[in-house]
Amino acid sequence: MSTTGERVRTRRPTRSEVRATLLSAAARVFGRRGIDGASVDDVAAEAGYTKGAVYSNFGNKDGLVAALVEDRTAAYLSLGLTTAAGTEGSLSEIARALGDRLDDASEEERDWHLLFVELWQRAVREDPAAQGFQERRTAMCEAIADAVRHHATASGSELTIPAEHVAVAIMALANGMAMERLIAPHEAPDGLTGQVLAGLADAFTRPAGPRA
């Protein structure tokens, strides 16, 4: 039982917790103001820390942006692979489940999708600051292609086009639908991403023939 005047001790957040809080704050601030329009001070204030916390964890604003890209792309890749691994059935059924989960994520990560548009523009313009974004996009595409091959084989199907092309189509659809849901959610209702992804899976697969 505490006594009058006794100081209440609070647990100090771990370094990983501080980083996670700063990254979430950065997504919100960069999404609202853009990378150039936001400062390290803005991110620190949003997170409830001093700018020293940003510098000690990420070095500078460029390091913070790179870490945010790494964090969010890794989270989306994990979401996709976990959804696929936890769904039984055909590649089409897995695609539908993935699309439904991506719809949920688009609501949860609205700020990230706004930032994604800016990073995508920078990558198209070959801005050196977007190199990490481009590298992560390539790595994600390769991982998706590997997963498509695996699940097609596991479900007794074979692909009619290269897995790399299927991966690009999945990424293009998922990113495009997320953008549409930002600006016109009533025109891109829940379930639409899953329906279209399932249609793509059906279009790009056929029953595997007997092996020689």
Residue 3 lies in a domain: no
| Residue pLDDT, tens place only, 136-187 | 999 989 999 998 998 888 888 899 999 999 999 999 998 999 889 888 888 8
Cβ contact 100:194 at 8 Å: yes
Residue 9: what pLDDT? 61
Return all residues near 162 (Cβ < 8 A) that are at least 6 apart.
Answer: 145
CATH at residue 122 = 1.10.357.10
Residue 2 lies in a domain: no
| Residue pLDDT, tens place only, 115-135 | 999 999 999 999 888 888 999
Q: Can you give the C-alpha Rg of the chain in angstroms?
A: 21
Same domain for 96 and 131? yes
Residue 4 lies in a domain: no
Return all residues near 52 (Cβ < 8 A) that are at least 6 apart.
Answer: none
Residue 91: what pLDDT? 85
Same domain for 93 and 178? yes
Same domain for 201 and 106? yes
Same domain for 180 and 84? yes
Same domain for 51 and 79? no
Q: Average pLDDT, stretch 2-8?
A: 51
DSSP 8-state assignment for residue 158: E
Of 39-43, 74-78, 91-95, 104-108, the least confident: 104-108
- Dump strand ranges (E) for the chain: 157-159, 205-207
In the chain, % of residues over pLDDT 70: 94
Q: Which of 19-23, 68-72, 78-82, 136-140 has the largest mean confidence?
A: 19-23
Residue 44 lies in a domain: yes
Look up residue 110 and give its amino acid: R
pTM, whole model, 2 decimals?
0.82
Same domain for 19 and 113? no
Same domain for 45 and 72? no
pLDDT at 211 over 80: no
Q: What is the count of structural domains for the chain?
A: 2
Same domain for 53 and 154? no
Residue 167 lies in a domain: yes
Residue 170 lies in a domain: yes
Residue 24: what pLDDT? 94
Same domain for 200 and 120? yes
Residue 209: what pLDDT? 65
Domain that holds residue 30: 13-59
Cβ contact 163:146 at 8 Å: yes
Residue 1 lies in a domain: no
